[in-house]
């Protein structure tokens, strides 16, 4: 994946994530998700969130794409997705506030939606209900097809059709979330 000249000109670059990035990943995940965990899950409990974030980080190291976003050499975010045989899932985009709305979000969404069209696979993701990023996802053609107490379940595919029983989407993912490889 190659950043646009515009983003490179603004000082952004991408690098593959490695195990040394765990601590920075936890810090940025806290910055991005603490307000939502506080809102929906009765507060951020640091020890529990470190375990959850560490587990997520190690799982993402095996994904098709897990990259850190740098601004003039300093890590300011992470993004990931995992192309599976029947879909693109495990979508994650974490950015510090100082680099939000600078073009990275649009770059990432253009990339994964283009990939979806090229390989004819739908994209599935979930997003906190109060996260304003859902509006950007909708601008790129994602639709809300279900919800939980805390999240909207969204999908993208060129036909804008979804499996009504959710057998290939987030419901299936939610059933697998606690299974370890």
Domains and CATH numbers, the chain: 5-176 (3.40.630.30)
Query: pLDDT exceeding 70 applies to what percent of the chain?
Result: 87
pLDDT, residue 60, reads 96
Question: Which stretches of the chain score pLDDT less than 70?
Answer: 158-181
- The set of long-range contacts for 54-58, using a CB threshold of 8 Å and a minimum separation of 24, is 54/22, 54/26, 56/29, 56/92, 57/17, 57/21, 57/22, 57/25, 57/26
Q: 178 vs 6, 21, 65, 122, CA distance in Å?
A: 40, 24, 21, 23
Enter the pTM of the model: 0.83
pLDDT, residue 108, reads 96
Listing DSSP states for 54-115 in one string gives HHHHHHHTTSSEEEEEEETTEEEEEEEEEE-SS-EEEEEEEE-GGGTTSSHHHHHHHHHHHH
pLDDT, residue 171, reads 52
Neighbours of 58 (CB within 10 A): 12
Residue showing tokens 């601004």: 71
Per the prediction, the chain carries an average pLDDT of: 89
pLDDT, residue 159, reads 57
pLDDT, residue 157, reads 85
Neighbours of 83 (CB within 10 A): 18
User: Which tens digits make up the pLDDT trace of 8-52?
Assistant: 999 999 999 999 999 999 999 999 999 999 999 989 999 999 999
């Amino acid at each position: 994946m190659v950043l646009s000249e515009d983003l490179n000109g603004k000082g952004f670059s991408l690098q593959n994530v490695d195990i040394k990035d765990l601590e920075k990943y936890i810090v940025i995940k806290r910055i991005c998700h603490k307000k939502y965990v506080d809102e929906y899950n009765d507060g951020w409990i640091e020890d529990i969130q470190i375990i959850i974030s560490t587990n997520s980080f190690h799982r993402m190291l095996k994904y098709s794409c897990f990259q850190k976003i740098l601004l003039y050499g300093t890590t300011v975010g992470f993004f990931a997705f995992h192309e599976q045989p029947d879909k693109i899932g495990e979508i994650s985009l974490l950015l510090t506030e100082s680099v939000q709305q600078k073009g990275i979000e649009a770059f990432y969404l253009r990339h994964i939606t283009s990939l979806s069209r090229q390989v004819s696979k739908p994209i599935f993701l979930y997003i906190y209900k109060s996260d304003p990023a859902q509006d950007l996802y909708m601008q790129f053609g994602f639709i809300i097809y279900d919800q939980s107490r805390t999240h909207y379940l969204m999908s993208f595919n060129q036909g804008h059709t979804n499996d009504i029983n959710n057998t290939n989407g987030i419901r299936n993912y939610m059933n697998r979330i606690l299974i370890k490889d």
